[in-house]
Structure 1
Amino acid sequence: MDPTRRQQAVAAWVLALPFMALFLVFTAGPVLASLGMSFTDMRSTDVRTPFGVNFVGIENYQELLADPLFRKVTLNTLLYLLLGVPLTMGVALAAAVGLNSIQRFKGFFRVSFYLPVVTSIVAVSVVWKFLLRENGGLVNTVLGWVGISGPGWLDSTTLALPTLVVMAVWRNFGTLMVIFLAALQTVPRELLEAAETDGASGWARFRLITLPILRPTMLFGAVITSIGYLQFFEEAFVMTKGGPLDATRSITFFTFDQWGYGNYGYASAAAYLLFLAIVLLTWVQFRLLREKD
């Protein structure tokens, strides 16, 4: 090897070494340790003697699949995903298209729509919890002005989960909006103008020209949004504590509870089932949304 290239390689490894060391200690190490833990019956009482725990194989995974509560939180997580992803992407795309078509106050609206994303999720959840109270909440107060008796949004087993999804859509669509807005700038105006000259309507131009060009961006948005809803936790933790009757408890919330109970092996198994779900869903999305050859 050329001496200069050898020196460059050595310098590159030296510069990368601190990151690699931190990655191995704080990321790769815990990930592998939790994987091994998921095949044991380790509890909080075993922390001081981790090598004395029993290897139980896939027993934790079998118990999870037979656990009625885990099945319920899995269904809840699936509902978060099926409701949240299309709503978030639809609202974000609509906002981006709207902002792309206006000239005045574009910066103001962009900042306003993005502001909830950078606001503390705990603070936002607390405010929404007060807004949605059955008695005295602003939402039900406004409904009362027009003669509608508002329900207990967060106290209903049927309304609590969709309510959290609506709040999450409001908070999260700003990120995708900015991404879609940037992608819209790449759509060739010549194609749109040519289609308009040929008599294509606005919807036809959007469906036949804009959407196909946005396909890679939509794939990226679908992946990151799906991962976010599969890990849904903070909103439910602050606003409903997983209730009522576990109607808003997600897999992440379930894992958090099991870890708090000291069931480390059981919690690790739940976390890895969620990880497998994320990998599988991402693979499916890439298969469905990737650009055709």
Structure 2
Amino acid sequence: MVKMGYVWDRTTEFLGEHGGTILPLALLAIFVPSLISAVVTPLQEEATGVNQLLYALISLGAAVLSLWGQLAVTAVAIDPAAARAAPRVASARLLPAIGVYLIVMLIALAGLLPIVALVGAANIDVVAMRAGQMPTITPATGGAIALYALVYLVALLFLVARLLPVSAVIVSERRGIGAIGTAFRLTRGLTWRLFGTLLLYGVVTLVVTMAVTGVFGGLLGVFLGNTGPLGVTSLVTAVASAVVSTALTVVALVFAAKLYVALQRGRGEPELPLP
């Protein structure tokens, strides 16, 4: 049985020895897309017509570049000796990865259908909610929505836990949709341990992100004022948030890759070198 402590040790060891190797990839393909997304999102919310479509396309391009960067970092984490081949491997596995994550996203969205049905049955005005108006909800409906949302969140965490090594499978074993089944097979018997790890990671991410956003956004807002999405306060906060997001993402990617390698060894499966 693979222990999470062992995987974490391999993760910190890799980051200490090969941090400089993955830094250019992380800056170009994770930090930059994250910064673009942080800047574009508020602009997109205020835009209309063609501009809104343009911002949506920019966000989509940033998301694709980020996925490419995540695949490249995963490739390096699996086989540091093949670091030069990582960009080529990421390019070759990008389309299969997009297909796999679209399927997972559709599954996750399907799980939200009961909430949509409850909201529709209660005649809740979603547009008014987005405008800040609190709708009138009966206790029974509110309780049902809250209960299902909690169950959905737990189920989603379990799904993410079982699919934690899926990117490593896509990269190393050159699989497409079959990577989902392989990830489930590799993580069998580790669900609760991975669930706890993800829960802890989520709490740390939330706390750190809120702290950084509060420090930069709050303090700069006091001294410089709020000058809109493209003001100094917003831009500095976006940069700080992107730095934190990039660091946390790299740690998560390396951990998932080292988990995959450990699971292969633990189950007696041969390690597949990158092409």
Same fold (TM over 0.5): no
Larger Cα-atom Rg: 1
TM-score (normalizing by structure 2): 0.30
TM-score (normalizing by structure 1): 0.29
